[in-house]
């Protein structure tokens, strides 16, 4: 198969094998590997796969904790022209089976993360395409699988070729330059398989190198799972940069902070839930060494509240803090915005200017500013002509080929007459005169109330500026008069209390009290149009249900709110 001019993700191997030959590239548990050792292990594994019969276009499913071997497998599969399909080990059996029935893998790679989960229910008749099973664990797989498929280990596959670092870098390609099938987070409905190319991962990596500033001097902590595009894209960027990967099996605040201090981590990515967990634990530490080393933090999966951002600046004072907007279908980040840069005195002032910006008209807000497009990304707004707000469209090498299993390439979809190759993100927003993208909300998440459209994200962004709110989710529930009624579920920050009509608080705590009327008044002061102000506020005592990428599962929140309100309504 002919090579593609866009490049191959395995191009990074030559740099690692030469310029980073003796530098430590991966730290995973008790294992540390130099660039030379890492590349040798990738190439020997790739040769083992070729010997086994794995070839161009074959799909390999992976369900495992983060590790150095996970990274090696992703590159080895790509090297031989295969297509990796990372699965979420936290899925239910039905979700995992559905995903594999869709992509038809010839090989399944698992580790101890799957023991006792969906993997234990898997039978050969569920996935007829499977020919091999590879265990990353020292423990043997279930007996019913041993008798069904060829069971291998990573070491068995690469043993014959270990130590042969002089193997030529003759990459192979899958059709259309496909690199992997990455499943969406599934905040509503079943996850869909997004087909991404080598070119998409390469331009995304280069954008992160240019914007975030990842370099070979960085020590990068893996906080996101490698089954999600945020974790994958940042990992590939760091491989291209030649930095050091500190890999923990999965994110846990305690193990993450230990790793930051032990290995003097300089860079990491977060979502709001991860940042909140880290800060909560840092507050309880007598000393915090991470403030001396961490200098880059990229946030995604939703905006940081004002309070959380202030805490991040306090506990990571040397860090350049950025936020990004993107999705799996666009190979992660499309836009970037610097929230704080200790090297620039004006960064916080710029953030405040954006936060305080008012309405452009009486019925239209700018939404949430998510920054400017990355160099390789084209954005435009498709409107009906009545306002500047409309569907956010994008095109460029970052856009997925298609959803796996569909015939029509996504890049061939036309959205406006005369315009082709634009992907409709499903989001609604506007672009200002400076090129900043303002995100209003999800088109399919809007609440229809009294004939008006309410985008939850728009109102959430305003309420998150209140110092008493740590997190928020606004959902619409059925209402006989309005069709849908907006309900705000809020988590209070520490030391803040909620005031009901029947409850009283001491005067000394009055400044840390919130109520429905206080928040309604706050919305009015922020010029939120009346119909967009939530009709009710519910204090959410537990953690919000989230996907493994940190996005709130609105459908689940909505079901719980309806279940909570039904007894109250029936008693009235």
HEC assignment per residue over 184-216: CCCCCCCCCEEEEEHHHHHHHHHHHHHHCCCCC
pLDDT at residue number 502: 44
Please tell me the least confidently modeled range out of 205-219, 276-290, 453-467. Answer: 453-467
Task: Judge whether residue 124 has pLDDT over 60.
Answer: yes
Question: What average pLDDT score do residues 35-55 get?
Answer: 93
pLDDT of residue 86: 97
Which of 132-141, 322-331, 408-417 has the largest mean confidence? 322-331
Instruction: With a cut of 60, say whether residue 116 has pLDDT above it.
Output: yes
pLDDT digits (tens, 9 = 90+) for 230-256: 999 999 999 999 999 999 999 999 999
Helices of type H across 217-271? 229-241, 253-263
Instruction: Report, as an integer, the average pLDDT of 110-117.
Output: 78
User: Which of 139-143, 329-333, 541-545 ranks highest by mean pLDDT?
Assistant: 329-333
Greatest mean pLDDT range, 129-138, 160-169, 170-179, 352-361 = 170-179
Contact between 458 and 389 (Cβ < 8 Å)? no
Q: Between residues 177 and 126, which one has the greater pLDDT?
A: 177
pLDDT per position as a tens digit, 188-245: 557 789 999 999 999 999 999 999 999 999 999 999 999 999 999 999 999 999 999 9
Does the structure show a pLDDT above 80 at 569? Answer: no
Q: Where are the alpha helices (DSSP H) in 53-174?
A: 68-79, 93-103, 143-146, 154-158
- Residues of each domain in the chain carrying CATH 2.30.38.10: 357-445
The three-state secondary structure class of 503 is: coil
| Contact between residue 36 and residue 17 where contact means Cβ atoms under 8 Å apart | yes
pLDDT of residue 572: 42
What was the pLDDT predicted at 357? 47
Q: Provide the percentage of residues in the chain whose pLDDT is more than 70.
A: 83
Which fold is adopted by the domain 357-445? Luciferase; domain 3 (2.30.38)
The better pLDDT of the pair 365, 389 is held by 389
Highest average pLDDT, of 8-12, 112-116, 343-347, 566-570, comes from 8-12
Query: What integer pLDDT is reported at residue 141 of this predicted model?
Result: 53
Give the torsion through C-alpha atoms of 360, 366, 372, 377, to 10 deg: -110
What residue spans in the chain does CATH classification 3.40.50.12780 cover? Answer: 9-183
Among 1-15, 22-36, 472-486, the range scoring the smallest mean pLDDT is: 1-15
One-character DSSP codes across 274-319: HHHHHHHHHTT-S--GGGGT--EEEE-SSPPPHHHHHHHHHHSTTP
- The set of residues, in sequence order, having a beta carbon less than 8 Å from that of 418 and lying 6+ positions away, is none
Q: Binning pLDDT at 50, 70 and 90, where does residue 505 land?
A: very low
Q: What confidence score (pLDDT) does residue 117 get? A: 66
Q: Whole-model pTM above 0.85?
A: no
DSSP single-letter state for residue 77: H
Q: Report the alpha-carbon distance of residue 220 to residue 223 in Å, rounded.
A: 9
Residue 138 has pLDDT above 60, yes or no: no
What confidence category does residue 385 fall into, taking pLDDT thresholds of 50, 70 and 90?
confident
Q: Give me the DSSP letters along 405-452.
A: T-SS-GGG---BTTB-SPEEEEEEEEE-TTSEEEEEEEGGG-EEETTE
Average pLDDT over residues 278-296: 94
CATH of domain 9-183: 3.40.50.12780
Residues of the chain with CATH 3.30.300.30: 447-570
The answer regarding whether domain 447-570 maps to CATH 2.40.50.1070 reads no
From the list 154, 146, 89, 86, the residue with the least C-alpha distance to 117 is 89
> 3-state DSSP helix/strand/coil percent for the chain, to nearest 5?
35, 25, 40
Name which of 462, 466, 422 is nearest 441 in CA terms. Answer: 462
Is residue 533 scored above 60 in pLDDT? yes
Position 301 confidence tier, pLDDT thresholds 50, 70, 90? confident
Checking if the pLDDT of 119 tops 50, the result is yes
Say if CB 232 and CB 182 are below 8 A apart: yes
Tell me, what's the pLDDT at 171? Answer: 87
Work out the average pLDDT over 301-325.
Answer: 91
């Amino acid at each position: 198969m002919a090579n593609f001019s866009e490049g191959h993700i395995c191009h990074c191997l030559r740099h690692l094998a030469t310029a980073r030959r003796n530098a430590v590239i991966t730290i995973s548990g008790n294992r540390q590997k130099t660039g030379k050792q890492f590349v040798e292990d990738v190439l020997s594994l790739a040769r083992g796969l070729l010997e086994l019969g794995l070839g161009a276009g074959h799909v390999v499913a992976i369900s495992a904790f983060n590790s150095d071997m996970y990274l090696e497998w992703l590159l080895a599969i790509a090297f031989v022209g295969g297509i990796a399909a990372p699965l979420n080990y936290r899925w239910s059996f039905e979700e995992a089976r559905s995903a594999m029935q869709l992509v038809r893998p010839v090989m399944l790679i698992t580790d101890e993360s799957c023991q006792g989960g969906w993997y234990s229910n898997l039978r050969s008749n569920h996935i007829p395409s499977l020919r091999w099973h590879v265990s990353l664990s020292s423990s043997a797989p279930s007996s019913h699988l041993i008798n069904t498929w060829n069971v291998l280990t990573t070491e068995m596959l690469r043993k014959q070729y270990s130590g042969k670092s002089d193997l030529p870098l003759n990459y192979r390609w899958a059709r259309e330059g496909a690199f992997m099938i990455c499943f969406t987070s599934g905040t509503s409905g079943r996850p869909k398989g997004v087909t991404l190319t080598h070119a998409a991962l390469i331009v995304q990596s280069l954008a992160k190198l240019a914007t975030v500033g990842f370099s070979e001097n960085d020590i990068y902590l893996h906080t996101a799972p490698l089954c999600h595009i945020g974790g994958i894209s940042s990992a590939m960027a760091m491989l291209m940069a030649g930095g050091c990967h500190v890999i923990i099996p999965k994110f846990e605040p305690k193990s993450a902070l230990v790793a930051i201090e032990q290995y003097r981590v300089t860079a990491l990515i977060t979502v709001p839930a991860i940042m909140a967990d880290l800060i909560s634990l840092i507050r309880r530490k007598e000393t915090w060494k991470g403030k001396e080393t961490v200098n880059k933090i990229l946030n995604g999966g939703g905006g940081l509240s004002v309070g959380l951002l202030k805490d991040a600046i306090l506990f990571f004072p040397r860090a350049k803090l950025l936020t990004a907007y993107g999705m799996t279908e666009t190979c992660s980040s499309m836009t970037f915005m610097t929230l704080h840069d200790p090297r620039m005195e004006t960064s916080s002032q710029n953030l405040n200017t954006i936060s305080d910006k008012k309405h452009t008209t009486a019925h239209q807000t700018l939404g949430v500013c998510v920054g400017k497009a990355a160099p390789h990304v084209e954005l435009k707004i498709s409107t009906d002509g009545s306002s500047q707000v409309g569907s956010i469209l994008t095109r460029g090498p970052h856009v997925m080929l298609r959803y796996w299993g569909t015939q029509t390439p996504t890049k061939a979809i036309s959205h406006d007459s005369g315009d082709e190759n634009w992907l409709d993100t499903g989001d609604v927003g506007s672009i200002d005169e400076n090129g900043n993208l303002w995100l209003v909300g999800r088109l399919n998440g809007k609440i229809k109330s009294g004939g008006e459209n309410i985008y939850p994200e728009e109102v959430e962004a305003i309420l998150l500026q209140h110092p008493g709110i740590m997190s928020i989710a606004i959902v619409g529930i059925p209402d006989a008069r309005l069709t849908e009624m907006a309900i705000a579920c809020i988590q209070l920050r520490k030391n803040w209390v909620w005031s009901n009509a029947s409850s009283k608080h001491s005067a000394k705590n009055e400044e840390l009290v919130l109520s429905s009327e206080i928040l309604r008044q706050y919305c009015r002061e922020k010029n939120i149009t009346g119909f967009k102000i939530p009709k009710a506020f519910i204090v959410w005592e537990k953690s919000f249900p989230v996907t493994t990428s940190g996005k709130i599962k609105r459908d689940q929140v909505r079901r719980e709110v309806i279940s909570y309100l039904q007894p109250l309504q029936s008693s009235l």
